[in-house]
């Protein structure tokens, strides 16, 4: 039996590089987090709405990137307490979001891969 059940929906899951704080999101819904290893979940107030993809920065455990249904990319540097818009990609959708080598990679359905150098 799943701990977080979101039926009839795609579920995106990521864990902080420390492995202590998992996050999950349901397409066109809100971002959930767990502070007890996934036993209980709560929605993150203030997180962007309609998050589809999430990715942690492996070098900064408190930094999480999120791409929305509208392909807007947001970042938080404090485990989801405060968010700021990073970029509007102006594409139909982001199919995956990855942080590697201090770059944010966002693959899209029909427009290739966007790469952004991170500070």
Please list the alpha-helical segments (H only) found in the chain.
none
Global pTM exceeds 0.75: yes
| Domain range list for the chain | 11-93
* Predicted confidence band of residue 7 (pLDDT cuts 50, 70, 90): very low
Token pair 């900064």: residue: 60
| 75: pLDDT strictly greater than 80 | yes
CATH classification code of 11-93: 2.40.10
Say which range, 34-38, 47-51, 70-74, 112-116, has the weakest mean pLDDT.
34-38
**Regarding beta strands 113-117 and 103-108, do their DSSP bridges make them parallel or antiparallel, or are they unpaired?**
antiparallel
Q: How confident is the model at residue 6 (pLDDT cuts 50, 70, 90)?
A: very low
CA dihedral of 68, 71, 73, 79, whole degrees rounded to 10: 20
């Amino acid at each position: 039996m799943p701990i977080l059940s979101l039926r009839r929906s795609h579920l995106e899951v990521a864990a902080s590089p420390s492995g202590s704080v998992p996050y999950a999101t349901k397409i066109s819904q809100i971002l959930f987090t767990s502070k007890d290893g996934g036993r209980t979940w709560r929605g993150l107030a203030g997180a962007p709405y309609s998050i589809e993809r999430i990715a942690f920065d492996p070098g900064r455990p408190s930094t999480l990137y999120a791409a929305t249904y509208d392909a807007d990319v947001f970042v938080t540097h404090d485990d989801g307490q405060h968010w700021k818009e990073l970029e509007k990609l102006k594409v139909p959708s982001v199919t995956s979001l990855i942080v590697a080598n201090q770059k944010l990679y966002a693959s899209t359905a029909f427009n290739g891969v966007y790469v952004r150098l991170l500070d």
